[in-house]
Amino acid sequence: MSNLRIFAVNHKKISSLHIDNVCCSKIRANLRRLKLHLPHGRNYSSLPGIIGNDVKSLHSIISPPITKIRNIGIMAHIDAGKTTTTERILYYSGYTRSLGDVDDGDTVTDFMAQERERGITIQSAAVTFDWKGYRINLIDTPGHVDFTLEVERCLRVLDGAVAVFDASAGVEAQTLTVWRQADKHKIPRICFLNKMDKTGASFNYAVESIREKLKAKPLLLQLPIGEAKTFKGVVDVVNKEKLLWNLNSDDGKNFERKPLLEVSDPQLLKETTEARNALIEQVADLDDEFANLVLGEFSENFDLLPAEKLQTAIHRVTLAQTAVPVLCGSALKNKGVQPLLDAITMYLPSPEERNYEFLQWYKGDLCALAFKVLHDKQRGPLVFMRIYSGMIKPQLAIHNINGNCTERISRLLLPFADQHVEIPSLTAGNIALTVGLKHTATGDTIVSSKSSALAAARRAERKGEKKHRENNEAERLLLAGVEIPEPVFFCTIEPPSVAKQPDLDHALKCLQREDPSLKVKLDPDSGQALDRTLGDKRHLVTVELEAKPLETSSLQPVIDYAQSVTQDLSQASQEAVENGIHSACLQGPLLGSPIQDVAVTLHSLVIHPGTSTTMISACVSRCMQKALKKADKQILEPLMNLEVTVPRDYLSPVLADLAQRRGNIQEIQTRQDNKVVIGFVPLAEIMGYSTVLRTLTSGSATFALELSNYQAMNPQDQSTLLSRRSGLT
């Protein structure tokens, strides 16, 4: 009866809250139907006549053609200017009447109290607007490393992205992270070198960092006119024009577009011509169709090449992800944002230009992905959906493949940060906000009906896809949601009173629907009933059992019965015995944690006539607990798979730090200019590792953690843990 193994989870019989990457959330107040809400005294657009005719109506673009839709995200390192860029985009497109400022805490997309207080973006706010006849659905994503999952969740539904860079810093640590995520989802993107007015801003340095650190091929579509304090405009390389912003304009709406002339701008014209010729050659190397055009008609003089032909070729190259267009400006100083909007509509893809293989199976029927769930106090769950095919209308019944349930959409809204406008329908390619879905969670696949899903499954099978069993027809139709690693950190929570338990349960249920990285588990009660006389009945059970180590690993106790016991043991009594043993193993004697790798043999069981099965379970559980207390026990601790991506120059300090954390290095790989360290490390040693790694590598390294297994603690560490725990109690 030695070496029984215990793995630590927690020691309280209360709700256990598992966290992987969770940010705080505050339920936001919502609009009444068609009623405008004006937070921080700012004016937002709504239906015609509410504010004025100078602000555009979202109803004017309810059903644009799919070729005119752009689903884009803005991503970057923290403080590169994503939210400020978004604010300027909304202002110039006509959907706000004043400019928001992150430092003032009155931006549209940062609507949570924590976001406005800290000046960072945590949740991904969706915004819908139009620009020159195009519908743009924009997601403003977090740049802070602690909210990486929010970025991942939203990139899944985008068709294109704008990567924003601080022109004085170039590619930064989190830029690498979000760029890798965009690579994973094969998202075409364009680059915007922001903060060109900042001291230390360098266009050439930022471009070179894109080339060297991201291993991307930058296409210079613009050149800056001045840098830092002298920055006053940009040069349009494709059209050989200069764009100068009026110094007397406070909001940057007024700017001049003038052709470059030999008389007025000889040096700038020379630089632009050289840049345009280099751009043409670069695109020709990447696009065969454009190369044939250039070599056939314009080989003698690139100046004769029409801008439209070059723009079309750049669009194809961007979609193929063989190069990235680069633009520049200063969102804070209101320069360069309008040309960025033009580039979004011109170079990023429409939904129909993205290749989604599953669309052929649905034949135009509804297929959508619920990529985000928010809870509103009055409206209930608000579900953000990307519509891949078909149409969504209010009062439409839909089928959830993941939940295998049918629900009804009560209302359909267009998202405008924390404001929403009700609409009658929305077609493929759009991002919708639905009200009335009670069971849909983040990552669920939505179709028109169960029969539609099965029909799509049959079409997929006829297309030569792998054969499927009868019971998993729907599984293969699930859209790829967000990959959520198993949780490795947890905390325990309990309500202040029993009366508040229903409220806590409801809140946790809502949070789980919103955030797939949140796992909630209720620790089961071990059962504390004892042998006693209840009423006029005597309940008596006598048990003799043996507990010993199991040679092979098993999370559940392996139960065996002596021959003398099995002869007279009824099915109900056997179930009661096993329930008692399992209950005792859920809470071990050292930390109140589950026990594994234990074999139990029941040698004797005497049950007094009339004894209830509940009493049998309670007695067996108590006997098992006494046996476990007498046995030698060993605590198991979680062991994590660790992968650290670090520049070569910082490899040594990272390895030295991991050695101090009881890390076991398995392999060191080379990935481009980086080293990838792969190994194992105990979870207890990795607390706060994100901050330490940023300090050791100047923010240039990233890491990923995943639960591997549980390993035995050495006696010294186990003794230290138990002493610390007993000291707390």
| Binding-site positions for GTP | 76-83, 140-144, 194-197
Residue pair 47/421 in contact (Cβ under 8 Å)? The answer is yes
DSSP SS3 for 522: strand
Q: Is 285 exposed, middle or buried (0-12, 13-18, 19+ CB in 10 A)?
A: middle
317 torsion bin: left (phi>0), alpha (psi -120 to 50), beta (else): alpha
Q: Which DSSP symbol is given to 90?
A: H
Who's near 685: CB < 8 A, 6+ residues apart? 661, 662, 663
Report the residue count for the chain. 729
Q: CA-to-CA distance for 383 and 374, rounded, in angstroms?
A: 6
And the tokens for 711? 């390993």
CA distances from 308 to 162, 165, 241, 320, 343 (A): 22, 27, 14, 19, 13
The strand pairing partners of 110, in sequence order, are none
Identify the helix (H) or strand (E) that includes residue 82: helix 82-92
Residue 122: which residues within 8 A CB-CB, separation 6 or more? 23, 24, 112, 114, 115, 142, 144, 147, 150
> What DSSP element (H or E) covers 266?
helix 266-286
Q: How many CB atoms sit inside 10 A of residue 306's CB?
A: 10
3-state secondary structure of 610: coil
Strand partners, 326: 191, 220
For 703, the enclosing helix (H) or strand (E) is: strand 702-712
608-645 as b/e, with b when 16 or more CB fall inside 10 Å? Answer: eeebbbebbbbbbbbbbbebbeebebbbbbbbbbbebb
Say how far apart CA 397 and CA 410 lie, in whole Å. 9
Nearest to 59 by CA among 127, 129, 137, 140: 129
CA distance 604 to 308: 89
Task: Decide if 640 contacts 680 (C-beta within 8 A).
Answer: yes
Q: Which residue is associated with the tokens 């106090």?
A: 377
Per DSSP, the three-state class of 415 is strand
CB-based contacts of 395, cutoff 8 Å, min separation 6: 408, 409, 410
Query: What is residue 535's three-state secondary structure?
Result: coil
Taking the C-alpha atoms of residue 512 and residue 510, their distance in angstroms, rounded to an integer, is: 5
Binding-site residues, in ranges, read 76-83, 140-144, 194-197
Instruction: Please name the residues in contact with 52: beta carbons below 8 A apart, sequence gap of 6 or more.
Output: none
Strand partners, 641: 680, 706
Contacts of 525 by beta carbon, 8 Å cutoff, 6+ apart: 13
Distance, CA of 54 to chain centre:
37
